[in-house]
Structure 1
């Protein structure tokens, strides 16, 4: 016997696939463009997601773009990539090459691993540079004279 939930799910899927598909496709396309624009302009540390997890970006709810939680959603996906890469690295370290015939495949997998590791390193560097720039700007602002002609107190510099 079908449950109420199963019937409702089947009805929703039918509506999505038969009647709402063109509308939903347009919304998905717009959402994808907004995510890509956000990554390229505001959050370069997530660029590897565009290359390695583009399909997963579709799973980000539209609401995340509207309520500002997009960074959190991208962070979750980024953490997944890092975990997968760490697991892949562990496999390479524990794997022993026994047959010379496996060498070309091993090299290809190794090169792919190194490329991903490099891309993640670049993303982390971009994040560090952006963070560093903000810190230096805040420091510079706190070292300037105020409207009263006096410098900020030392505690505002050291936080």
Structure 2
């Protein structure tokens, strides 16, 4: 049995104010979460992204909301890259003095600036999270013991691995020293004799051994120092 079109329209008119009110509440929740907990998503509060946020389901936990906002952020970044590719593809002869090109470029730079701020905010949040996790790991646990060494190591650089195996995003070497990020090879808790970046016969297993392409080397470990003319380690 077909539903009367007029009845459907009447019901829609009755429901519309309630739907609009619910949308405002949901957007307010999202805005509060972003401003108080996730500044890396601040670009999404711009009016042009309101429709994207409206698609996020209501009544999500903070963890679920963060995942949804992460998806929206990636969509924005993808659109931004595609816009950059379109601008680069425009023939230079047709862009000189072109108002359309100038407007596209201004929009691109404005968005690039906002995404840069988002990346910086994400970086700061990441560092704060790692430091909080490390602080908790260094405390006496509920069992009365300290956390295992491998757990603490995993927050900075996993044990018994090298920089060839560990993605850069998982290396939080800045906790120890920012300079550790600059290396040609880095290893953790592996016998020096097994490391291809240095030619020594030693069973020392440094917590962290950093190698750089310089004339001399010294690897600081729990048990001493190994030297080689090929690389620098620290």
Normalising by the smaller structure, the TM-score range is 0.7 to 0.9
1:121 aligns with 2:121: no
- 1:31 alignment counterpart: 26
Greater shift in the superposed pair: 52-61 or 139-148: 139-148
Query: 2:40·2:121 contact (CA, 8 Å) conserved in 1?
Result: yes
Question: Structure 2: where are the runs of 5+ without partners?
Answer: 155-234
Question: Number of residues paired by the alignment?
Answer: 151
Q: Could you say which structure has the higher strand fraction?
A: 2
- CA 1:111/1:101 → structure 2, altered by over 3 Å: closer, same or farther? closer
Larger radius of gyration: 2
1:142 Cα shift?
Answer: 2.8
The whole-number CA distance in structure 2 between the counterparts of 1:50 and 1:141 is 33
Q: CA deviation at 1:146?
A: 6.3
Deviation of 1:30 (Å): 0.8
146, 152, 155: which one pairs with 1:157? 152
The TM-score normalised by the length of structure 2 is 0.55
Aligned counterpart in structure 2 of residue 20 of structure 1, from 15, 18, 37: 15
Aligned-residue Cα RMSD (Å) equals: 2.9
Q: Structure 1 length as normaliser, TM-score?
A: 0.78
| Contact 2:87/2:104, CA 8 A, preserved across alignment | no
Per-residue deviation, 1:140: 2.8
Structure 1: runs of 5 or more not aligned = none
Measure the CA separation in 2 of the matches of 1:148 and 1:96: 67
1:57 equivalenced with 2:49 (yes/no)? no
Higher relative contact order (CA 8 A, sep 6+): 1
Residue range with higher mean Cα deviation, 91-100 or 119-128: 91-100
Tell me the residue number matched to 1:132: 127
Q: Which whole-Å CA distance do the structure 2 matches of 1:147 and 1:101 have between them?
A: 68
